[in-house]
Structure 1
C-alpha cells in the first residue's frame, strides 16, 4: 500500500525530538509498503529552518527507505501569532498545495494531530483523492487548551477547534488513539466506538545493554530528557532540587535537564537567580545520540502538570526510552494509566504535592542496587513486549487493511 503520514513536526533521527512516524514508517517499509511523511522543514524543537527557503517551497527526500516530503513554512518563535501563521501555512499546502500532487495517489492518508489544522487539511486532501482517511489523536484538542492553558470554553479559538474536532471524529474512516483511555471522550463527541484503535508510542531498536557511561563521583544523577514546556511542570523539579540540596542524604543528587522548549530559558534563569546548584541544563541531541546521553544517568524523571486532561492517559516517547535503558524511572503524572507502576519499573509521585518528589527520590536512594536493577529489567521487558515499533506497525497495518476493505 501507498501510505501518507501528515504530521507537521515529524523528524528523522538526525534531529532532536519525537520520531513516532519515522519509526512506524521504517517498520511499514520493511513490511512492503511505500510510506511518505509530509512534514514542515522548520524544526519545531530548535525553531530553525533545516532545509528549504521560500523560493524552494518543497523537497522530497528519502531517509532509510522512508520518503519525507518537506514543506516550507514561515519561521516563528515561541507561542506567538507567527506560530499560528506557520500552522495555517502548512495546513493550506497540505489541503490545496501542488507539492502533494507530485506524490501520486495514496491508498490511505493519516492525519496526525499535534494540531487540528494539519489533521483537518489531511482530511480535505484525502476526500479530494477519494481515499480512506485515518485520524491519529495525540492529545485532546481543544481540551488541553482549557485544562493547561486556562482558555475559556467560549474562547473563539476553542470554539473553532471544537467544530473541527467533532467533524474529524465523525467523518474519519478510522481513529488511531495514542492515549490509552481516549475511547470514551472520542465516542461521546461523535467517533464510532468500533473504529477506534489504540496504538501508543514506543521504541525502535532497543539500546545495547552496555555498562553505564556516567562518571561515578558519588552523585546520584536523575535525568529529564524532553520538552521544557508549560505542560511539563518542571518548576516542581527545581523546588525538589532545592529541598534535596539541604537534606543530609547518603548521596548527593543532581538533576539533569536535557532538551529544549519555550520554558527552558525561564527555568535556567530561575535556577541561576535562586542558586540551585544541583541542576544542570544540557541542549537537545539527535535521536541517534539519545541513548548515549541517557546512559550517563542513574534514574529518569517524567513529570507533567497536575491536570484533569491526563485522566485519559499519556504516552510520552521519552518514557519508553527511559524504560528501555534498564534503570528506574520516577513517574509524576496524575493519571490512572501508569506504565511504571504497572510494570514495576520505578516509583510514582504526585505532581500536585511539592513534598512528593523529594520523598520518592529519598526512597529510591535507600533501595539497594539489586532493587534498582530489578526495576530496570522490568521496564525493559515491558517496552519490548508492549511498545516495540515492530509490533505497533503491525497494528497500524491492520488498520490500513480494515479501511481499505471498508
Structure 2
C-alpha cells in the first residue's frame, strides 16, 4: 500500500550539507519502497547560519534532491541561542500549521512531526488535525528534560513548564511515538504516553555511501571526534587528556582530530592555542557525502558526552554508527546504562568527565595490537549491519506507518537486545 507521507523536521538537510542525514536517508528508502514522501524543513541552515535554498523574494520552494522531495520554508535568521532563534522556531511552526507551500502537494495520508524542538512537532500536529489525518510524533531528544539536565534550567522555569505542557499534549495526540533513545519509553509513560504507542527506531547509517576502500592510516596513533562541538559533547575532556599526554614523556604519541562545528568550537580552539596543545587539530564540518574520506584518517574514534543524568535513557548519535561502519574501535565515555560499544565489543569504555580515565583508555587502546583493534572494528561493523542499517530501519518505519493507517496497535518498545552494562 502506497503511503503519502509529510515529514516535518526544521533541520532536515540533503547530503550536500553538513549535518545529520536521518530523515533524508529514511525518506529515500521509503521512496524506493514505493511511497510518496515530502520533507518539510527550513531553508535557513542551522550549521552555517546561512540561507541556503531560497532567493530573496521566495517564501517557499519545492525541490527534488536525489529522488527526495523537500518543501523549503523561509524562516528568519539567527546567530545564537537567544530570542532570535526562538522566533525562528515559532515562524517555522506557524508556516507548517498554515500549510505554506503544501497546497500543490495534495493531502497526505500521515504527518510525522519530529523534535528536538517541540514547536515544530506541535505545528505538524495542528496541520494533521486540520487535514484530519493521523499524526506520528518522533522524539529525538527528551525535551524539556534536556534543558534541565544539560542547561541547568529549573524545572519550574516558565519555558520548561510551557514545553512540558506541549510534550504531554503531543504524547496524547500522537497515534504512534517514535523514540530514538532505547530507554525513552519510561520517561514518556511517566508523562502520560501510552506504552503501546511507542516504537524504537534509532539513528543509523547509510551503508550504500561508505567508501569502497578503507585503508588503515599511517603515522602517529590518531583518534578522531566527528560531530557537533556543543554543550552536551564535553569536548574539553579531550583537551584535558591531550594536555596530560603531552606532559607524560613516557606516553605513546597520540594525535587528536576534532571534526565539525558548533557553539563551543571557538572556545576549544582558543584553549588549544593558549595551552600549546600541539597534539590537537581541528577540521571544518563537511557534507555527509564527504565525511567518510576524513574518517579514514583515524585509528579510532571518540564518543564523548557530558556527564549528565539525561543520558540515563540511552543515546543514539549518528556519529557512533558512522564510527562502527568504518571498522575502527571506539572509545565510549557516556554515563548511560545503554552502551552499544560494550554490547558489541567494538571498543573500550571510560568514565565521562574524568581526564585520568580518558587518558588511561587512550593508552590502552594505543597499546593494543593491530589485530585486536581490527577485531574491535569488525565487531562494530557487524553490529551496525545487523541493527542500525537505514534500510532495515526504513522497513520498520514503513510497517509502523501502515499499522497506523490500518488502525492497528503496537507494543514494540524493544531495544535490539539492549542489555544494561
TM-score range, shorter chain: over 0.9
Question: Does structure 1 residue 175 correspond to structure 2 residue 163?
Answer: no
**Cα distance between partner residues in 2 of 1:101 and 1:128:** 13
**Cα distance between partner residues in 1 of 2:245 and 2:81:** 33
CA deviation vs aligned residue, 1:183-213 (integer Å, no higher than 9, x gap): 1111111111111000000011252452437
What's 1:307 paired with?
A: 308
- 3-state SS in 1 of match to 2:338: coil
What's 1:350 paired with?
A: 351
* Residues 211 and 293 in structure 2, CA contact (< 8 A), matched pair in contact too: no
- 3-state SS in 2 of match to 1:355: helix
Question: Pairwise mapping of residues 5-404 of structure 1 onto structure 2 (< 5 A)?
Answer: 5-206=7-208, 207-208=210-211, 210-212=213-215, 214=217, 216-217=218-219, 219-249=220-250, 251-404=252-405
CA deviation vs aligned residue, 1:207-264 (integer Å, no higher than 9, x gap): 24524374x23x1110000000001001111100101112234631111001000111
CA deviation vs aligned residue, 1:37-88 (integer Å, no higher than 9, x gap): 0001111111111111452010101112110001111111121211111111
For residue 160 of structure 1, report the CA deviation from its aligned partner: 0.5
- 3-state SS in 2 of match to 1:135: strand
**Cα distance between partner residues in 2 of 1:205 and 1:211:** 13
* Residues 341 and 348 in structure 1, CA contact (< 8 A), matched pair in contact too: yes
For residue 114 of structure 1, report the CA deviation from its aligned partner: 1.9
**Cα distance between partner residues in 2 of 1:119 and 1:209:** 38
Runs of at least 5 residues in structure 1 that lack an aligned partner in the other structure:
none
* Residues 95 and 122 in structure 1, CA contact (< 8 A), matched pair in contact too: yes
- 3-state SS in 1 of match to 2:5: strand
* Residues 256 and 282 in structure 1, CA contact (< 8 A), matched pair in contact too: yes
- 3-state SS in 2 of match to 1:319: helix
CA deviation vs aligned residue, 1:123-179 (integer Å, no higher than 9, x gap): 000000000110000011000000000101111110110000000011111100000
* Residues 37 and 69 in structure 1, CA contact (< 8 A), matched pair in contact too: yes
Taking structure 2 as the reference length, the TM-score comes to 0.94
CA deviation vs aligned residue, 1:79-100 (integer Å, no higher than 9, x gap): 1211111111111100114312
**Cα distance between partner residues in 2 of 1:320 and 1:107:** 31
**Cα distance between partner residues in 2 of 1:153 and 1:275:** 40
**Cα distance between partner residues in 2 of 1:242 and 1:262:** 22
* Residues 209 and 325 in structure 1, CA contact (< 8 A), matched pair in contact too: no
**Cα distance between partner residues in 2 of 1:260 and 1:59:** 27
- 3-state SS in 1 of match to 2:207: coil
* Residues 8 and 121 in structure 2, CA contact (< 8 A), matched pair in contact too: yes
* Residues 311 and 334 in structure 2, CA contact (< 8 A), matched pair in contact too: yes
Q: Number of aligned residue pairs: give it.
A: 404
Taking structure 1 as the reference length, the TM-score comes to 0.98
* Residues 334 and 351 in structure 1, CA contact (< 8 A), matched pair in contact too: yes
**Cα distance between partner residues in 2 of 1:249 and 1:370:** 24
For residue 101 of structure 1, report the CA deviation from its aligned partner: 2.5
**Cα distance between partner residues in 2 of 1:280 and 1:114:** 30
* Residues 179 and 315 in structure 1, CA contact (< 8 A), matched pair in contact too: yes
**Cα distance between partner residues in 2 of 1:33 and 1:239:** 49
**Cα distance between partner residues in 2 of 1:234 and 1:17:** 18
**Cα distance between partner residues in 1 of 2:109 and 2:127:** 12
**Cα distance between partner residues in 1 of 2:50 and 2:358:** 35
**Cα distance between partner residues in 1 of 2:250 and 2:286:** 32
**Cα distance between partner residues in 1 of 2:141 and 2:71:** 24
* Residues 45 and 260 in structure 1, CA contact (< 8 A), matched pair in contact too: yes
**Cα distance between partner residues in 1 of 2:251 and 2:370:** 14
For residue 355 of structure 1, report the CA deviation from its aligned partner: 1.0
Runs of at least 5 residues in structure 2 that lack an aligned partner in the other structure:
408-421
